[in-house]
A and B are shown apart, each in its own frame.
Chain A
Amino acid sequence: MKPVITLSLALGCLVFLALSGGRDWLAPADVWHGLWSTENFVIHVLRLPRTALAVAAGLALGLAGALMQGLTRNPLATPDVIGLVQGASLGHIVALGLGTSVFLGETVGAAFALFAVIALAREQGPIAFVLYGIGVGATASAATTVILLRAPDATITQMMLWLSGSLARADLATAGALLGGVICAVFIVLWRARDLRTLWLGDDVMTGLGVNLPVLRFTVLGLVTLLTAGATLAVGPIGFLAFTAAPLARAVTGAEPPALFPAALMGACLLTAADLAARLIAPLVTLPTGLIMTLIGAPYLIFFLWSEKRKTA
């Protein structure tokens, strides 16, 4: 329980900071009053939607990443590394072209990518899972680029911004819907909490404890797909967030391995901080938040590989 409380407090502070920071800094008292009076333009139109969306998407991606890492018992198998996010963005672009519901497109795209990876890597171990995931992700990104280049010029700039993960066009309705989805996911996780805690013990032990493995797998994979699709819809394909959230949460708070809720909170903290950084670094240019996230996450992956290498050497 302690890690969750610590991270919630940290998230609260970050949200407050994100609301007061930007091109012009607001005094804490102004922020507090601005929150309750609906006329405050800077807070209610500019900063609150962005921050709410960052929190919701961060929660969703962090939770999805930790669930996936727990289910596969592989720290590398997260939705962004194994191609789910790329599949979702391909679905997004296709749905835009066909004029159907974007969320449906994203869910189908993510589910299709997940299914492809599972089918390809069947019975070949965790390494094959990640490698096939990288391949599926690369295929989906290439297909996205092809479709994008055939699009009219006006859409290209807009889609480029979305593809690099921007929160510039955030609105409260999307944030609310996503937050609702995350809360539903949290209830499902709490409901299956006992089974989920056994994930790290191995298939044999889990069967011995009376866990219905196929049902649990299906539930978790479905949750991961929906959470990824929702977050990608809201903020674009943000890389490395799901991958870094859980290990960072564990490193900071010392939570036990599945660390689902600490990971979700850490994801929210990371994305809120990245969004604040994007606004502070370049106030006049719309610097995509996904870019900042990559600048945090990719060095972390390099550090991860480097420290693993030192461990084996």
Chain B
Amino acid sequence: MSRASFASILVLLCLVLCLCAALSLRFGAAPVTLGALLNDTLGLLESRMFRTVCAICVGAAMAISGLMLQTLTGNPLADPGITGINAGAALAAIALAYFTPFNSGMAILLAASVGAGLAGYTLWHLAGADPVSGAGGIALRLPLAGLAIETLCLALATALILADAEMQARYLRWISGAIPAVARTETAPLGVISVLLVAGYFTCERLELLSLGADQSDSLGRNPNRTVALVLTCVTVLSGASVAIAGPLAFLGLLVPFVARGLAAGSLRRAYLFALPIGASALVLADTIGRVIARPGEVHAGIIAALLGGPALIMVLRRVLRPARWHAE
């Protein structure tokens, strides 16, 4: 891919993101005329702006954490939802709310990151560094280990919540991936996500070296263990922060990196830059659609994402399991 076409695709994607953000600001659960929205007597524009910023950050974070995880494991199915990392973060956040009085944004962020980290570590031990086996290089272990971790974490979370009716109502809203509209505890995670999204770009080089093989990476002066640790930290904190904001969103990290890698034709850094606007636009769009289709109520973005996500998983499988890879150059 030439430099010019790369730049034009990137600009196009950013324009799409701007369009989606504008749509998200304009349309919501309450039908308001444009003039009233701009005068902003109800504080609608402010809350919609906050919500859009949240959706952009979370969408980009999920996409990047999926992309890095997929490159690290060499498995196109690795996404923080399927692998149970999001469920681990959700369990930790709920355990925090249940057992301790802390409810500041930083505390939830830390707990969710630790939970995501534990789930990621377990996953790496069960399914990581797996020699390529079976159909089209997809190891079966990863989705299975993810299934086990995810159901275990969600079952424990449900057990914690069942005794408490008030927590049950909150949990149901949060677990279905609702993007918040009022700033309460979300500013700290938002900051962390922005920093990590920039920092993550600079791990791309190490990650590309590692995907050539551990020995190659070592001889070129990049310690493979350190790369794994760095990338896993980045992935888990990104997941933890997005779960702290919007609950466990499934599947966004599966489809977006798949599209981004197809567009980038082999270059991880380009895929990274593509995945940012695609992920953000996808979640903003899902959130806007969810607000509009069921007025006056809303369908949470996470549910729209999950509903599209199951078929997306099947579609990705069909592409990858087919003997001839479509993006093979």
Spell out A's residues near B (CB within 8 Å). 76, 81, 120, 124-125, 127-128, 130-132, 134-136, 138-143, 145-146, 149-150, 156-157, 160, 164, 239-240, 282, 285-288, 291, 294-295, 297-299, 301-302, 305-306, 308-309, 312
Contact = CB atoms under 8 A, between A and B. Distances in A.
Given A239-B151, A302-B145, A305-B144, A128 B317 contact: yes
Which residue among A142, A156, A294, A305 has the maximum number of chain B CB atoms within 10 Å of its CB? A142
A298 B126 CA distance: 13
25 contacts: A76-B144, A128-B317, A128-B321, A131-B140, A131-B143, A134-B143, A134-B313, A135-B317, A138-B309, A138-B313, A139-B309, A139-B311, A142-B306, A143-B310, A145-B303, A146-B299, A164-B162, A291-B155, A291-B159, A294-B155, A297-B151, A298-B149, A298-B151, A301-B148, A306-B126
B134 to A, nearest CB: 5
A242 B105 CA distance: 41
A10 B270 CA distance: 61
Contacts of A294: 151-152, 155
Contacts of B300: 149
B149 to A, nearest CB: 7
B contacts with A: majority SS: helix
B310 A142 contact: yes
Contacts of B321: 124, 128, 131
A135 B313 contact: yes
Nearest to B140: A127
Contact of A127 (B134, B176, B251): B134
Contact of A120 (B251, B294, B307, B314): B314
A146 B138 contact: no
A292 to B, nearest CB: 9
Contacts of A127: 134-135, 138, 140
Contacts of A308: 141
Contacts of A282: 163
Given A135-B317, A295-B155, A295-B156, A146 B134 contact: no
B309 A240 contact: no
Given A139-B307, A141-B306, A150-B294, 6 more contacts: A127-B134, A131-B77, A138-B310, A142-B303, A145-B306, A298-B149
B250 A138 contact: yes
A185 B309 CA distance: 36
A139 B168 CA distance: 23
Contacts of B126: 302, 305-306, 309
B147 interface: yes
A135 B127 contact: no
Contacts of A309: 126, 130, 141
B135 A124 contact: yes
Interface in B143-174: 143-145, 147-149, 151-152, 155-156, 158-159, 162-163, 168, 172
B299 A149 contact: yes
